[in-house]
Structure 1
Amino acid sequence: MTSGTAAQKLNDEVSWDDFDPGAYISHNYLKMQAVDEEIVSRVRDHFSDHFRGGGRVASGIDVGAGPNLYPALAMLPWCDRITLLERSSRNLEYLRGQCADYDRHWDQFWDVLCRDEAYAELDVTPRVRFKEAVQQPEPGSLFDLCADTRRWDLGTMFFVAESITTSIDEFRRGVGCFMSVLNPGAPFAAAFMEHSQGYRVGEVDFPATREIDEAEVETALGDFTQDAKMYRLANPGDLVRDGYTGMILVCGRRKE
Structure 2
Amino acid sequence: MSDSGTSGGLTTIGAGNNDAPWDFFDSKEYFEHNYGHLRDDDRQIIKIVTDFFVHCFDRTVPQKQLASAIDVGSGTNLYPALAMLPFSSSVTLYEHSYTNRQWLSDQLGRPKPSWKREFWPVIAGARGPYRKINDPLDLLASCAEVTKGNIFELRPNQYNLGTMFFVAESITTRVDEFRRATLRFVNSLRPGAPYAAAFMCRSQGYFVGSTFFPACSISVDDVRSCLAPVARIRDIETVESHGLRDGYEGMIVATGWKK
Task: Return the TM-score normalized by structure 2.
Answer: 0.90
12, 22, 31: which one pairs with 2:28?
22
CA RMSD of aligned residues (A): 1.7
Aligned ranges for residues 129-148 of structure 1 at < 5 Å? 129-135=139-145, 137-145=146-154, 148=155
Q: What displacement does 1:150 show?
A: 5.4
225, 245, 249: which one pairs with 2:253?
249
| Greater alpha carbon shift after TM alignment, 226-235 vs 74-83 | 226-235
Q: Give the percent of matched residue pairs that are identical in Structure 1 and Structure 2.
A: 40
* Aligned-partner Cα distance in 2 for 1:229–1:49: 13
* Aligned-partner Cα distance in 2 for 1:225–1:240: 30
* Aligned-partner Cα distance in 1 for 2:47–2:186: 22
* Aligned-partner Cα distance in 1 for 2:30–2:141: 23
Q: What displacement does 1:26 show?
A: 1.2
Q: What displacement does 1:7 show?
A: 9.0
Structure 1 equivalent of residue 100 of structure 2: 91
- Residue 132 of structure 2 corresponds to residue 121 of structure 1: yes
Structure 2 equivalent of residue 63 of structure 1: 72
Alpha-carbon contact 1:188-1:251 (below 8 Å) kept: yes
Q: What displacement does 1:8 show?
A: 5.8
Aligned ranges for residues 167-186 of structure 1 at < 5 Å? 167-186=174-193
Q: What displacement does 1:208 show?
A: 0.3
- Unaligned 5+ segments in structure 2 are 1-6
Structure 2 equivalent of residue 222 of structure 1: 228
Change (3 A) 1:7 1:29: closer
- Residue 48 of structure 2 corresponds to residue 38 of structure 1: no
Structure 1 equivalent of residue 244 of structure 2: 240
Q: Read off the aligned partner of 1:63 and give its amino acid letter.
A: V
Alpha-carbon contact 1:156-1:188 (below 8 Å) kept: yes
Structure 1 equivalent of residue 4 of structure 2: none
- Unaligned 5+ segments in structure 1 are none
Aligned length: 244
Change (3 A) 1:50 1:242: same
Equivalent position SS for 1:77: helix
204, 208, 231: which one pairs with 1:197?
204
Equivalent position SS for 2:170: coil
* Aligned-partner Cα distance in 2 for 1:216–1:227: 13
